[in-house]
A and B are shown apart, each in its own frame.
Chain A
Amino acid sequence: MRRSSPFLYLALLALLFVAGDRLGALALGHVVDASEFRFSRLHRGGLDNDILVVGNSRAVHSVFAPQLSRMLDCRVFNAAYNGMSGEVVEAIVKDYLEHNKPPKIVLIEVSDAVDSPVLVNELRLFARDAGPVHDLVRRFDPWNDVWATISHLYEFNNEMTLRALYQLHRSDQDWIMYDRPMTPEVLAHIPLNEFKNYHSRPESVAALRRLVSELNARGIKPVLYIAPFHPYFRKLVPRYTEWESALQHDLGADEPIFDMSQMFCANENFTDLLHVNIHGSRLVTAAMAERLRPIMAKIVANTASAAALSVPSHADTADLH
């Protein structure tokens, strides 16, 4: 360190850092891309699902994809993730449509109330290629490109990398809250001002509206819903009714929101004030299946008639010959 030229040593150190950083990132990139984690699969492409579920953690835990799939006899893919705001939902659905076959229905949980699109930090893992996710990360985290230029390993510094490693060989579509139910003891200790600022950001709502319009334009049916809240939550949120009415007004104009927020109130169905557990999820998924069954039937019927119209009849083909 001291005998050779210090400049040479510093240059060598920098070179070794960059080489190790790039090699490490390359190896991690291959592992993440090959994972069975939901966003790895979505980004890798080739999915063919009838129903796509998006939204924040309330969507992750409220719609149990395997159960819904069984009940409706169709393919369901849950692409929801903790802290997913409207802007992220929009980017993820667009990313899905770019890489995969379009679904028939996109199920969107709309009660997002995060102060900023926090998930953007996580999504840089899938922002390595150009596309909707890359644009979103660039918009909300303009420094990301700078950091990612200095260190490629930085792109893997998030929970999604850990999840991708954990889900390397098994699907995460059964991700659900198995936790014990809510207890009066826990309820008693929740601070009264815990949700005093609960609100939906206008930017997030606007992104959802844009998405709904785009889906309608593409012939994909958007279904909006609000997952159940624990009854105590509704007491803690000031002007809860106004918040819900505003959501209905802003989003429900084109697509009425399926409101399940007061579907049940027993502690045993919740793991906390915002999330249902496995018992609550079963009830929500069953109700959702009932809601979607006629919609699916209608879509299938329309698709069949459209196919019948577009396929030339025997007589027509005979004429052609």
Chain B
Amino acid sequence: MVFTSLTFLVFAALFFPAFFLTRGRLQSLITLVASYVFYGWWDWRFMALLAVSTVGDYTIGRLLARTEATGTRRLMLTLSIAANLSYLGFFKHFNFFASSMAALLHGIGLEADWATLHIVLPVGISFYTFQSMSYTIDVYYRRLAPERDFLVFATFIALFPQLVAGPIVRARWLLPQLHRTRRFRWTNLFVGLEMIITGFFLKLVVADNISPFVTLNFQLPEAYNSLSLLLAVILFAFQIYGDFAGYSLIAIGLARIMGYKFPANFRRPYFSRSFSEFWTRWHISLSSWLRDYLYIPLGGNRHGKARTHRNLLTTMLLGGLWHGANWTFIGWGALHGCYLVGQRLLSDSARRAPMRLPVPRAAAYLLQVLAVFTLVSVAWVFFRASSFSEAMIVLRRILLLDDWHTSDLPLKFHLVKALALVMLLVAIEVGAECSTIRNIYFRSRAARTGGMLALLWLIPLAGSFAGAQFIYFQF
């Protein structure tokens, strides 16, 4: 079930009254059942995997509570991590590793007839396995008391707003909220609706209007000129932002209406002046997960420069692999790893050089933002392309600068509309980035009402209702 579908509208109309008319465990039970219905709408078989993952980690959590023996606790944790990674490995990465191994063996003259399986990827598996793993790791390190109530734990894993594409909400954050009965609050409704409307604007108006131009260019990059491909790459940066940040806002808004507070998942990432800042603004729930459960346990930056660089590269490579079983995602992760390492290699003074240029401070700021955006967009090429060679064709054709005729641009009306919407989005984000404007806006009821009305008019006027899926559903 997709948030942008009519089915979801019916689902929400049935769910919310039932949710607010009940109390205590019945409220949790209704949430759990609704979440499984929401998830099973794609394929009922997926529900079994979700249930297995839930029962497994709940049991391990309970077992961890009963023992103090370090060896046993470590074994329990290993079991939990191995089980979760095996779900991911089997459903998401088996075919990739099998075909890559066969290709490698073929390269050295050995023929291997590896069987590739027709595996249906369960929606959202990457998100809920990570959420579940964070629970057992936190319990193991005694940062969190094991959950006794299975109903609450199962609701924590399956809570429908964030089940399919995040944000990955930590157990420490969400479990305490799930223990309290949620009552209807007008404030929550208004704030939640504001987020949902903004999310729909980002998804239906911005992302889905950009999609046709980007898809066409990436389908057959040989057919389009440098300018067309360059625009497609820039637009894709905004498409994926609109798509994913839009989904996150809808999820956070739905949870807010229910009375749950989720942490923000995006904070205007394209205003970042460095790559480390970018990762504190983009997909925050994943980047902080990788930081806390991978980068820091690997040693973080505590054991010298070489180890820090290795840890950064490993974290980003695995972050890339988390997105999907394809060399393009590994390439994307590797590039971001290199960016982070490169940034560390540059001395502080070199990093601050733009600020020392004899240009106004705002221009220097803009220079840094543009530099980060450009390199992030280069990495997006690998993320979007269906193969490594396709990504290289796109980049090569852009760098050739061979043809900049606007008359050769495809889908001109789509392109003009997409560019206009991107400019509108940038204008909104500039306003939100400026604390004075942001404060004035959020303190003025009239301004907020006007803002919401403008977005509400834009959705029917410019939104795309072709039923496009959210990009991150594939992960």
Contacts and interface: CB of A to CB of B under 8 A. Distances in A.
Contacts of A150: 460
Given A178-B407, A186-B220, A190-B220, A153 B460 contact: yes
A159 B461 CA distance: 11
A186 B187 CA distance: 56
B190 interface: yes
A159 B414 contact: yes
Interface string A10-24: 000100110011001
A2 B462 CA distance: 31
A156 B458 CA distance: 11
Interface string B431-453: 00000000000000100110011
Nearest to B448: A1
Given A6-B189, A153-B461, A157-B461, 18 more contacts: A1-B448, A2-B186, A6-B186, A13-B453, A16-B449, A21-B457, A24-B457, A151-B460, A151-B461, A153-B460, A156-B461, A162-B416, A162-B417, A180-B405, A180-B408, A185-B222, A186-B223, A188-B222
Nearest to A177: B407
Given A1-B190, A180-B408, A24 B220 contact: no
Interface string A253-265: 0000000000000
Interface string A119-157: 000000000000000000000000000010011011011
A162 B413 contact: yes
A232 to B, nearest CB: 14
B413 A163 contact: yes
A157 B457 contact: no
Interface in B406-422: 407-408, 413-414, 416-417
A290 interface: no
A188 B449 CA distance: 54
A218 interface: no
Contacts of B223: 186, 189
A21 B460 CA distance: 9
Interface residues of A, number: 28
A1 B188 CA distance: 12
A159 B466 CA distance: 14
Interface in B257-275: none
Nearest to B466: A121
Contacts of A157: 460-463, 465
Nearest to A271: B408
A105 B264 CA distance: 63
B63 interface: no
A19 B371 CA distance: 44
Nearest to B224: A186
A13 B445 CA distance: 12
B453 A17 contact: yes
Contacts of B456: 17
Interface of A: 1-2, 6, 13, 16-17, 20-21, 24, 147, 150-151, 153-154, 156-157, 159, 162-163, 166, 178-180, 185-186, 188-190
A20 B449 CA distance: 13
Contacts of A153: 457, 460-461
Contacts of B190: 1-2, 6
Contact of B407 (A2, A21, A24, A179): A179
A16 B456 CA distance: 11
16 contacts: A2-B187, A17-B456, A24-B461, A147-B460, A151-B461, A153-B460, A153-B461, A154-B460, A154-B461, A157-B463, A159-B414, A178-B407, A180-B405, A186-B220, A186-B223, A188-B222
A186 B463 contact: no
A17 B197 CA distance: 13
B74 to A, nearest CB: 51
Interface string B380-419: 0000000000000000000000000101100001101100
A225 to B, nearest CB: 26
Question: What class of interface size applies to chain B in its complex with A?
Answer: 20 to 34
Nearest to A143: B6
Contacts of A178: 407
Nearest to B452: A13
A270 B263 CA distance: 54
Nearest to A24: B457
A71 to B, nearest CB: 26
A321 B57 CA distance: 108
A186 B222 contact: yes
B278 to A, nearest CB: 34
B325 to A, nearest CB: 23
Contacts of A17: 453, 456-457
A179 B408 CA distance: 5
Contacts of A189: 220, 222-223
A189 B224 CA distance: 12
Contacts of A159: 413-414
Nearest to A185: B222
A221 to B, nearest CB: 34
Nearest to A189: B222
A179 B186 CA distance: 56
A24 B407 CA distance: 32
Contacts of A24: 457, 461
Interface in B49-76: none
Contacts of A6: 186, 189-190
A185 B393 CA distance: 13
Contacts of A2: 186-187, 190
A6 B452 CA distance: 16
B455 to A, nearest CB: 11
Residue among B186, B222, B461 with the most chain A CB within 10 A? B461
A313 B267 CA distance: 86
Nearest to B393: A189
Nearest to B187: A2
A151 B465 CA distance: 14
Contacts of A188: 222
Nearest to A163: B413
Nearest to B220: A189
A154 to B, nearest CB: 4
A163 B456 CA distance: 23
Nearest to A159: B413
Nearest to A150: B460
Interface in B189-214: 189-190
Contacts of A151: 460-461
Q: Which 5 A-B pairs have the closest CB atoms?
A: A151-B460, A154-B460, A153-B461, A6-B186, A189-B222
A153 B457 CA distance: 7
A17 B455 CA distance: 10
B390 to A, nearest CB: 10
Nearest to A156: B461
Nearest to B449: A13
Nearest to A190: B220
Contacts of B414: 159
Residue among B220, B456, B460, B463 with the most chain A CB within 10 A? B460
Contacts of B460: 21, 147, 150-151, 153-154, 157
A159 B415 CA distance: 11
Contacts of B462: 157
B461 to A, nearest CB: 4
